[in-house]
Chain A
Amino acid sequence: MIELTGLLILPAIGIIALILKKVLHLAISEEKIVTSVTIATAMVFFLGLIIGFQGISITLVNAIDFSFTLQLNGISIPFLLLAVVLPGLGLWSAYKEIKENKALFYIFYLLSYLSLIAVFMSSNLISFFIFWEIILISFFFIIAFWGERETKRKASMKFLIFTQFGSMVLLGAFILLYVYTGSFSLNTIASSTALIPIQIQDVIFFFVIIAAIIKMPLFPLHSWLPDAHTSAPTAGSVLLAGVLLKLGAYVLILFAVLLFPGVVKTFQVPLIILGLFTVLYSTFAASAQKDFKRLIAYSSIFYMALVFIGIASLNSLGETGAIVLIVSHGFIVGMLFVLAGMLKEKTGTRDLDKLGGLMSRIPMYAFFLVLAIIATLGVPGLSNFPAELLVLLGAYAVYPLSLLALVGVLIATNYYLSAAKRILFDSLKKTFGKITDISALDALQLSLFTIFIVVLGVMPSILINSFNLTI
């Protein structure tokens, strides 16, 4: 058995090592520290998947039922997979991009890494919220300090205000849960939901939904996401789209679907309609984008809306599909953002109008880009397909019009293929005569993403068997 704390101690060691390096002027490079920490954490995690995990509970303040409780719930593992693996996969982009105040950047990076892992294991609501907020704060600084110079000030603040709004609402829900059940412990709450009056259940549900809508995000509270993505550094975008957005889905499943299925049932159809609307809205909005990264950002709203539909379907098909889609989308969108980062690195722009014909110069890049696009479009054999299938099966079973989401996929096909065409195909623009193909390490990074996408696509049962829909 592996202690769950082990997953947190390693990043913590990394943070301490970075601080010591800075204070004592050690000769070891920041990159080495962070790489070894993430690899070690991932290894511990995979080892734990094989031999099992062991929870821990330390009471910190008894009076307010505040304890540091790490315990896996039914749906932890898929989310943990993303949280443990993705930040590591994005690191190589950071090595290339971050040149100033590296130590500080990696401290924030590891801090959010640690908190992301912790948040999916915390079963005490206060410690959950603490980690939840640390993620936001670290991410705020990652954008505010290392984002794109022109936009970072505004984008970071927008990110913070929106997500902070979500956090406040979530906190409201937590407090209400405490007020009526007298506990912040998820297990206790789950066993005493009957104590909560029905109107309060509605209020809590409403709060959780708002938090999820902001975090995932869904129309109309999604405006922060494209801005945040366009100004975040690549590694930050990977983290943001790959894991942070998934937090919304996580709270939605945990605090709405699993705690108050009855309430969700009441509002099921409006929720699905909201999801559907967002699907169509974001897909149309994406097709109007010129900046490749922005386009990916909108498409990621699209997929999170599908996740939302899946979750709202409230049957095992839809929920399972939603979780598989979460994991799958995490890897795919991470890969796309890494690719967008490389595009900027190679050509100096992400504006689709200015690109063209790059395939002849960078064939390996082109291969990965086409692969990622095909993966995101839900082509079978790659991980999005089983997920989309399950989500739509689940959603159709309760709300037949859900199939309209397929129109969104269709339009996504159109804009993604247009993007591929505008970047890779046609004749080479003269300005790009000298660019060179991606390096071996770049290719390695992309291959790692690819491995996950393919393995999950071919054998989704590995993932599906790793969770069950219980608290």
Chain B
Amino acid sequence: MINAEYILFGGVLALILIDLLRLRLKINNKNIIHFLTLAILIAAFIAEIIFGNMNVSFFSSTQYSQFVNGFILFLAVVIYAFLMSDSKDYSTTIDFLFILATLGAMLVILSSNFISLVIAIEMISISSYGLVFFQKNNRRMEGATKYVSLSFISIVIMIFGVSLVYGGAGTLSFTQLTSVDYIPFIAGVGLVMVGLAFKSTIVPFHMWAPDVYEASNSVVTAFLSSISKAAGLVAMIRVFFFAFPVSSPFVSMMFIILAVSTIFFASFLATVQERIKRLLAYSSIAQAGFAFVAIALLNYIGIQAAIFYIFTFAIADALVFLAYKIFEDQKIIYKKDAAKMFSISKIATVGFFIGILSLAGLPPTIGFFGKLAIFVALLAHGYVYLVVALFAIILFSTFYYFGLLRDTDVTEVRDTQKLNIKISSLRVKEALIIILTLALFVGVIFVNF
């Protein structure tokens, strides 16, 4: 079986060799490497659809793995294509890092053992550091430093948690965690959760996210807020639903408290942001909170809703950050500049609009269906008050989502300034945005509750 993971892994190795060859032959044009990378990603995506995931030793697939890895690869292709459409002379390192980060995310989904899980997470993290820092400047430097230092802390905590789990259960395999010694085990579970919560930006472990998201190139932000976060959340599902025998109303309650505080906190903060990108960063954190609410149910219907929700917000987040990238390049940083969006690129603006609508949970985008799935799951289990609270916060988040849309007031633009855009590259970008936008509508076929 030619699984996607093998293709990626083999592809990275091959790419490094080809790049060495290129250097030796003194070919300065790096485009060949970039195109190869894209080809590898696409090939992996196709392989994922056809053959599914690998099932070896520490890695095993569950029923949702193929879907999750599929959309991760899909997003990876789109994001990568977007990055390369700049036709700037990017270093080839990016290619390797990007593939490795994607591979890491996929392995997180597949891990069936704590060791492989930790390694896969490390794989995403380390590649991400590079991605954040790849166009060197001071802001990137600051962001990357923050990311690295905080990320290390979380990894260390997680590894400590894993060791406690081992102490309690005598095994690290998810399938064998049955009879356990509770004291170290529960503490371990708590610490593992901290590590995963860091990755999936759950309050209070989210604080790195806005700074890092803002500091990075928006394309990298798109990667971090969709693929990387999705991997963290799905790992959460894997660990807490399939592995740990801790499912109980009490744990659910704790998760719900974390999730709800994530949503509330992030929504409040998003409201007061003046910079568009920071606002989007907080919105992305709030989205993670919603997915976490569904996870917190720790039952089948909740998990299904959570997976679908992760899918919806990953697509939408990728879309808004990519679309924003086009505007950011034209110096639209603050909300008050948003009125110019329409004159820069109509397609990107429409895509941005629809992405925001999806994040805000409005039909007919899949964001709505994602929230619908979550609410159905919650109400089916009698969490009426929770749903009411979530309605309230969705309503509240309307403020900042639609405040942003309102600021793109087309009628306020009198003079259309000269734009500094390469049309060809803009067309490619717009095409990618159209693809993602369509995905926001077509994705509804995956919903199930």
Residues of A within 8 A of B (CB): 60-61, 63-64, 66, 100-101, 104, 126, 129-130, 133-134, 137, 140-141, 144-146, 153, 156-157, 160-161, 164-165, 168-169, 171-172, 175-176, 178-179, 203
Contacts and interface: CB of A to CB of B under 8 A. Distances in A.
A157 B402 CA distance: 8
Contact of B362 (A100, A133, A144, A161): A133
A175 B368 contact: no
Interface stretch (B77-85, B214-222, B321-329, B391-399): B391-399
Given A153-B406, A161-B395, A179-B376, A145 B411 contact: yes
Given A137-B362, A144-B409, A161 B394 contact: no
Contacts of A164: 395, 398
Interface stretch (B154-162, B257-265, B441-449): B441-449
A178 B379 CA distance: 10
29 contacts: A61-B444, A63-B447, A63-B448, A63-B449, A64-B447, A101-B411, A130-B363, A130-B364, A130-B368, A134-B363, A137-B362, A144-B406, A145-B409, A146-B411, A153-B406, A157-B406, A160-B398, A160-B402, A161-B395, A161-B399, A165-B395, A168-B394, A172-B375, A172-B379, A172-B388, A175-B376, A175-B379, A175-B387, A203-B384
Contacts of A140: 402, 406
B269 interface: no
B346 to A, nearest CB: 8
Contacts of A145: 409-411
B375 A171 contact: yes
Contacts, number: 84
Interface of B: 357, 362-364, 368-369, 372-373, 375-376, 379-380, 384, 387-388, 391, 394-395, 398-399, 402-403, 405-406, 409-411, 444-445, 447-449
A169 B388 CA distance: 8
B445 A61 contact: yes
A144 B384 CA distance: 34
Contact residues of A: prevailing secondary structure: helix
Contacts of A130: 363-364, 368
Contacts of A146: 411
Nearest to B304: A63
B372 A175 contact: yes
Contacts of A60: 444-445
A144 B401 CA distance: 14
A275 to B, nearest CB: 25
A176 B402 CA distance: 27
Contacts of B409: 144-145
Contacts of B448: 61, 63-64
B411 A157 contact: no
Contacts of B384: 203
A164 B394 CA distance: 9
A179 B444 CA distance: 19
A156 B406 contact: yes
Contacts of A171: 372, 375
A144 B409 CA distance: 7
A241 to B, nearest CB: 22
Given A129-B363, A134-B363, A176 B395 contact: no
A203 to B, nearest CB: 7
Given A145-B411, A157-B403, 15 more contacts: A60-B445, A61-B444, A64-B372, A64-B373, A64-B447, A64-B448, A130-B363, A141-B405, A144-B405, A144-B406, A153-B406, A157-B402, A164-B395, A175-B372, A176-B379
